[in-house]
Structure 1
């Protein structure tokens, strides 16, 4: 049985400020780097055979924490990038709601086509699921591949891979930073979700300045 771990990157300052990142290359912050290390200490126990990452630094640097423990080389795939949010990128969600209310309303309703050059959910799901399938082929029989990606990309890519309808995907809560989805595959059952939003239960407290 092949196992695929779809892992969201650690926290960034834009996450903390509710600012739309999309495909803007925003780095991990100190909290995000700690989250990556803590999560890697759990994921290494799964004995991954390969690590694949989005080429955006917040995902790649998250994957690097696991690579440091396993000695594996990280392969990058730009299809694993976050949803392209077009004119929204760099805005806070409050600014989107105030300045682009019609688009924000369509996004809130879970519609596929938003406007403002925002990538459709269908296009997002197709490209990410294709990358996930290709990543899974890196595992030997019964092996494990860890894929570092982004929140919306992970949820939509997994949903497309499983054949879920958009309204079903809306029932899933957003992945927390540095949490993951576990998928398994065998010839009899195909792809199945084994676990969702798994990760370290609580962030370590930030040490006081010295």
Structure 2
């Protein structure tokens, strides 16, 4: 059995103020660092064989908290970055709504390609799922922790599971420093039950409310 633990990074000031991060390299705040330290022993108990992280600091520093307990190196993979939010990056959500009302309305409605330079959900899901798959193939039969971002986690997981956008919209976002677990049977059953299976979602310690919108 190969197991993927898809772990969202800890809180940042931009999370807390509903400011659009996307691929802007924002650091963890004090709460985010504490969330990573609190979650790390729970993940270490799963006995991971490898840790892979987005190269953005908020994910890399979250992964470092687990690496400090396990002694494992953290491999960086830029494909695990958050969705690129185009012309919205750096804006507060209220500003994005005011400046780009049509695109914002389409985004709110779940349009996978709303405009304003946002990366499409299909492109996002594919690149993140490719990173997940490569990590799994490099560690067959192992447990791999992948430190990534909220939108990236959801689309990457959905792509691996073959879920369409409508299904994914019904799945709640990961809270900061929470994770999703996927498993794949690598034994004889893989011929009859191929692919990945969702085993758990939004697992972790509740340390503070997560904003309704956090990108």
User: Same fold judged by TM-score > 0.5?
Assistant: yes
State TM-score, norm by structure 1. Answer: 0.94
Residue in 2 that maps onto 1:194:
199
Q: Deviations over 1:40-86 (max 9, x none)?
A: 11000000000000000000000000000000000011000000001
Residue in 1 that maps onto 2:123:
123
Residue in 2 that maps onto 1:80:
80
Separation of aligned partners in 1, 2:206 and 2:148? 20
Residue in 1 that maps onto 2:175:
176
- Aligned 8 A contact 1:81 1:153 in 2: yes
- Aligned 8 A contact 2:35 2:207 in 1: no
Partner SS for 2:119: coil
Q: Deviations over 1:136-193 (max 9, x none)?
A: 123242x200000000000000000100011000001111000000000011422000
Residue in 1 that maps onto 2:211:
none
Separation of aligned partners in 2, 1:106 and 1:51? 36
Residue in 1 that maps onto 2:152:
153
Partner SS for 1:182: strand
Separation of aligned partners in 1, 2:207 and 2:98? 33
CA RMSD of aligned residues (A): 0.9
Separation of aligned partners in 1, 2:4 and 2:131? 12
Matching of residue 56 in structure 1 with residue 56 in structure 2: yes
CA deviation after TM superposition for structure 1 residue 202, in Å: 3.2
- Aligned 8 A contact 1:63 1:74 in 2: yes
Structure 2: gaps of 5 or more residues: 209-215
Q: Deviations over 1:94-140 (max 9, x none)?
A: 11111111010010010011111100000000000000001112324
Separation of aligned partners in 1, 2:70 and 2:138? 16
Q: Deviations over 1:2-37 (max 9, x none)?
A: 110000000000000000000000000000000001
Structure 1: gaps of 5 or more residues: 204-210
Residue in 2 that maps onto 1:110:
110
